[in-house]
Amino acid sequence: MRAKLGLLAAVSLVVAVALVSGSTLVYFLAYLVAATVVGAHLLARRGLDGLEAGSWLDRRHATVGDFLAVTYTLRSRARLPKPWLEVHSPSTLPLAIPGRVISLAPRTERTWAARVPLPRRGQYRVDPLVVRTGDPLGLFESVASVGPGATILVYPQVAALPAWHLPPAAIEAASARGRQGSHVTPVVTSVRPYTPGDAFNRIHWRSSARHQELQVKEFDIEPSADLWVFLDLHRGVHVGTGETATVESSVRVAAALAGHALADGRGVGMEAVGVRRAVVAADRGVRQRHKVLGLLAVAEAEGSTPLVEMLLESTGRARRGMVVMVVTPSLDPSWVRPLAAMRGQGVAPVACLIDPLAHLAHGAAGGDQEALRPSAREPLERAMRALLHSLAEHDVHAHVVGPDRPLGEQLVAGRGTSGWRAA
């Protein structure tokens, strides 16, 4: 903008000098400058005429570590060449999608693909394709946006747990491994909005007429040792930053447990309270896997509901024969009693403690944050020992998970609480 104003000021000065002096040379320079400015403006304005552009994403759902491929196509139907075109797709992805500057001959087409890694989970926006051109002097430019944009959901990685197993159901007619085949019983538990892929025989027509949109029935699943995960997203208990944050380990643990149970034919349900309460009703199959991972993809430690309140409010969600797994870095022992009380409903309670001390130490070793002072560390160590003692007193099986070892090793080798040591 400053360059354009400076140019206009220079042209105005040349014209004023020409009018005052009457010199032929000055008049020639004034006409030359004016013709250059007008020509540059026309070239930039007409630079996108006859141009067709488009971009396509190879996926809308991905997993951390995958690559997103964006295919670009530009086609010129103009009679004149286009010497300079800048093409890129703005996005909120952790790493920018590479753009390119190209030239197009008359009535030609160019196609290429750009690949960008997806290092972090989350929901990201890829904005419409932006095509920009201008004049050789850089005085004027033309910009066009093409396409509607798209949303990319990046799931967390699901770690393998080859030696870890859920306990069998404590109810009659239940199997230690969920049976394949029909995933429903005649008992309808709720209705929800229709999503692509739902069977038409599950549509509840009365509810659809009442809500003025298609509603489908949610069925109770066959009895088995299913898994219900309570994910603690209370902002006051999570520590660390980046990949060494406790919320990232919590998400990885929940994803691994849910993925393992679903692969084993179990039903999986999940609840988390962040900015809003998110509940995924217990079910099985590939569709349920996408639901659970979709919740975990956007989970952030932004909640204000303590774990003890979430457990007290959601006691009725766990059915007899389920395994209830609490994933939390909270050192407050108040949530142990309501978790242990679920045993009276025929539920097996298990706690997965995301060790905040180990995460803080790991982050300090990597230079992501400052090391804890002894005065701040000792209270945390005492709180961890008190929590482990409370879990043992209420006979709640617990795993302590740190950031420095594979999850499969910690859940198997780290059974119980007696082996915990301050990091």
CA 68/CA 59 separation, integer angstroms: 7
Tokens of 94: 């952790």
pTM of the model: 0.77
HSE of 258, CA atoms in CB hemisphere, 13 A: 37
DSSP assignment string, 232-286? --BTTT----GGGSHHHHHHHHHHHHHHHHHHTT--EEEEEESSSEEEEEEE-SH
Beta bridge pairs of residue 422: none
Angle at CA 173, nearest 5°, toward 172 and 178?
Answer: 120
Beta bridge pairs of residue 231: 272, 327
Q: Are 234 and 307 in contact (CB under 8 A)?
A: yes
Torsion 26-29-31-37 (CA) sign: negative
Q: pLDDT at position 319, please?
A: 81
CA 73/CA 110 separation, integer angstroms: 6
Least Cα distance to 317 among 277, 274, 269 occurs for 269
Beta bridge pairs of residue 115: 69
Tokens of 191: 């209705």
Rounded to 5 degrees, what are φ and ψ at 70? Answer: -115, 120
Q: pLDDT at position 177, please?
A: 45
The domain 222-413 having CATH identifier 3.30.450: the answer here is no
- E strand map for 294-418: 323-328, 348-354, 397-401
Q: pLDDT at position 114, please?
A: 94
281-306 pLDDT tens trace: 999 889 999 999 999 999 999 999 99
CA 304/CA 238 separation, integer angstroms: 12
Q: Are 133 and 380 in contact (CB under 8 A)?
A: no
Q: pLDDT at position 28, please?
A: 74
Q: Please state the separation of Cα 35 from the chain's center in Å.
A: 53
For the chain, the distance separating the N- and C-terminal CA atoms, rounded to the nearest angstrom, is: 57
CA 174/CA 168 separation, integer angstroms: 8
The helix or strand, by DSSP H or E, that contains position 9, with its residue range, turns out to be helix 2-21
Tokens of 339: 């978790």
Q: pLDDT at position 204, please?
A: 86
Q: Which residues of the chain fall short of a pLDDT of 70?
A: 1-23, 26, 167-189, 219-224, 366-369, 413-423
Least Cα distance to 175 among 251, 266, 78, 295 occurs for 266
CB-based contacts of 346, cutoff 8 Å, min separation 6: 170, 171, 320, 321
- Number of Cβ within a 10 Å radius of residue 375: 7
Q: What single letter denotes the amino acid at residue 378?
A: E
CATH code: domain 51-155 is 2.60.40.10
Q: pLDDT at position 372, please?
A: 74
CA 321/CA 225 separation, integer angstroms: 6
Pairing of strands 67-76, 51-57: antiparallel
Task: Show me where the domains of the chain are located.
Answer: 51-155, 188-220, 222-413
185-219 pLDDT tens trace: 555 667 888 887 777 788 888 888 888 888 888 76
148-178 pLDDT tens trace: 889 999 999 999 888 787 765 555 444 444 4
Q: pLDDT at position 19, please?
A: 61
